[in-house]
A and B are shown apart, each in its own frame.
Chain A
Amino acid sequence: DAGVTQSPTHLIKTRGQQVTLRCSPKSGHDTVSWYQQALGQGPQFIFQYYEEEERQRGNFPDRFSGHQFPNYSSELNVNALLLGDSALYLCASSWGTGGGYTFGSGTRLTVV
């Protein structure tokens, strides 16, 4: 039983570029949440997708957008990348929108 799968594992982008990160939830899970984890910090909530809609959003600018597909997988898009966007991006899935999330191993994004 595969857990949460994220791709790619590492990515280097140039300031101003756009990036798309991908997440496949754990089997049986229908909800995907995205988190940004800066070095030495705890994860910060970006947004949550359920039934292909953004259900809740954290304190992140509109440059951060997402999508959920009918098979529950999800994408995180970040436009106009800034150096400060360098972080580990974590995807977490759950059944329903409550707690008990299962996290993926993350995508390490470096913006240069």
Chain B
Amino acid sequence: GQQLNQSPQSMFIQEGEDVSMNCTSSSIFNTWLWYKQDPGEGPVLLIALYKAGELTSNGRLTAQFGITRKDSFLNISASIPSDVGIYFCAGLTGRGNNDMRFGAGTRLTVKP
């Protein structure tokens, strides 16, 4: 089945720094999504991307849907302590296939 390779696995950064993480796949996805999960909670949708090449922002977060439809990246600018958590990429192939595939997550730690 389709696998999503997410990197890096973890990041330790200083407050105020920018962060970049990405997700690649050997298969094409028609929708890419980025979620954040805090301890003891379910994933919360940050950004959804529906078109190849699409660049979408949500506050300090920016995500792009790769042209090949096999990758996506998420950038966080000027990180703050509440950005701490696990970030997951997810993909949907569409065409009636609702099996949303997740990457293994990037664990972000922000040092004040």
Chain A residue numbers with a CB within 8 Å of B82 are none
Chain B residue numbers with a CB within 8 Å of A103 are 35, 42-44
Say yes or no: is B65 at the interface (Cβ < 8 Å to chain A): no
Assembled-state Cα–Cα distance A97/B53 (Å): 24
- Label chain A's interface by main secondary structure: loop
Q: Is the CB of A56 within 8 A of B88?
A: no
Interface range for B: 20 to 34
Interface range for A: 20 to 34
> Contacts A90-B42, A104-B42, A105-B42; is A97 near B104 (CB within 8 Å)?
no
Report the tally of A-B residue pairs with Cβ distances under 8 A.
60
Q: Is the CB of A42 within 8 A of B102?
A: yes
> Contacts A42-B88, A59-B1; is A97 near B98 (CB within 8 Å)?
yes
Q: Is the CB of B103 within 8 A of A42?
A: yes
Say yes or no: is A24 at the interface (Cβ < 8 Å to chain B): no
- Which residue of chain B is the closest to A41 with respect to CB atoms? B104
**Chain B 35-52 per-residue mask, 1 if CB under 8 angstroms from chain A, else 0:** 100001111110010000
Say yes or no: is A28 at the interface (Cβ < 8 Å to chain B): no
The residues of B with any CB-CB pair to A shorter than 8 Å are 1, 4, 6, 31, 33, 35, 40-45, 48, 88, 90, 92, 94, 96-105
Q: List 27 A-B contacts (CB under 8 A).
A: A4-B42, A33-B98, A33-B100, A41-B104, A42-B102, A42-B104, A43-B88, A45-B101, A55-B98, A56-B97, A56-B98, A58-B99, A92-B42, A98-B31, A98-B92, A99-B31, A99-B100, A100-B33, A100-B45, A100-B48, A101-B45, A101-B100, A102-B45, A103-B43, A104-B42, A105-B40, A105-B42
User: Could you list 10 further interchain pairs (A-B, Cβ under 8 angstroms) beyond the known A55-B98, A58-B99, A99-B98?
Assistant: A40-B105, A42-B88, A45-B99, A45-B100, A48-B98, A100-B45, A100-B48, A102-B45, A103-B35, A106-B42
